[in-house]
Amino acid sequence: MAQDAYLAGGAEVFELGECNGDNPLMHTRVLTLEHGPTLLVRPLRHGDVSTVLGVFQRLSEQSRRARFNGPKPCLREDELEQLAVVDGTHHVLVAYVEGDAEPVGIAQLVRNGSSAEIAFAVADEYQLRGIGSALTAELVIDARAAGITEITALVSADNPVAVALLRRIASVLDIRHSGPELSIRAAIA
């Protein structure tokens, strides 16, 4: 399986285990899902707005509402740029499926000390195949390796799939209603 079959738009290709810049956590991985497709998971390059937009464009109105906790017909340029930030506090992983050159999922974290807020989205046609779970689990592995011990997520109250995903990959400590959303706090250490 060739890695470049997964990558579109001149995205940088890393060998397995190769580091991206100075961050040893930023490496490309191939995941074989038990009941799903083989995934190539790679770090987002800082400023790679085309990949972020590629995932966003594959989300239905309902998926966009679930990811952004409200209507989101489009991303403004400043929002797109913010979602493409990768630095010492922002870590982003992107998933590709064999035979599809476009990204199918994205998982992001923003660190605040030993805690990090996470968010994730998977293209509608690939949902419920284990991709979101695998991608988010990889993000949590990276978070643990970086010394993060707790994650938080703001999830739409009508998104039980996201809540179940978080329960599978972390030890949920607290779920609170925050308007129409659920604020979830979970231990990962």
Query: Each residue of 79-117: pLDDT tens digit?
Result: 999 999 999 999 999 999 988 999 999 999 999 999 999
> 160-169 and 131-145 helices cross at what angle (nearest 10)?
40
Angstrom distances, CA of residue 180 to CA of 10, 61, 165 = 40, 17, 19
**Are 146 and 111 a contacting pair, CB within 8 Å?**
yes
Read off the pLDDT of residues 110-141 as tens digits, 9 standing for 90 and up.
Answer: 999 999 999 999 999 999 999 999 999 999 99
The H-assigned helical ranges of 88-159 are 131-145
Strand partners of residue 115: 112, 150
Instruction: Round the CA-based radius of gyration of the chain to a whole number and report it.
Output: 15
Mean pLDDT, range 170-187, rounded to an integer: 92
Maximum pairwise Cα distance, the chain: 46
Please give the share of the chain, as a percent, with pLDDT higher than 70: 86
pLDDT of res. 105: 97
11 or 53: which leads in pLDDT: 53
Q: What is the pTM of this model?
A: 0.84
Domains of the chain: 3-187 (3.40.630.30)
DSSP 3-state of 15: coil
Residue 10 has pLDDT above 70, yes or no: no
Residue 171, both tokens: 């030890």
Read off the pLDDT of residues 142-158 as tens digits, 9 standing for 90 and up.
Answer: 999 999 999 999 998 88
Residue 24 has pLDDT above 70, yes or no: no
Q: H or E stretch including 111? A: strand 105-112
CA nearest to 171, candidates 154, 149, 186: 186
pLDDT confidence bin for 5, thresholds 50/70/90: very low
Q: Report the mean per-residue pLDDT for the chain.
A: 86
Residue 21 has pLDDT above 60, yes or no: no
pLDDT of res. 178: 85
pLDDT confidence bin for 14, thresholds 50/70/90: very low
Q: How many CA atoms are closer than 13 Å to the CA of 126, on its beta-carbon side?
A: 28
55: number of Cβ within 10 Å: 21
Q: H or E stretch including 156? A: strand 150-156
Residue 51 has pLDDT above 80, yes or no: yes
The H-assigned helical ranges of the chain are 49-57, 61-68, 77-83, 131-145, 160-169
d(CA 81, CA 136): 21
pLDDT of res. 25: 54
pLDDT of res. 26: 62
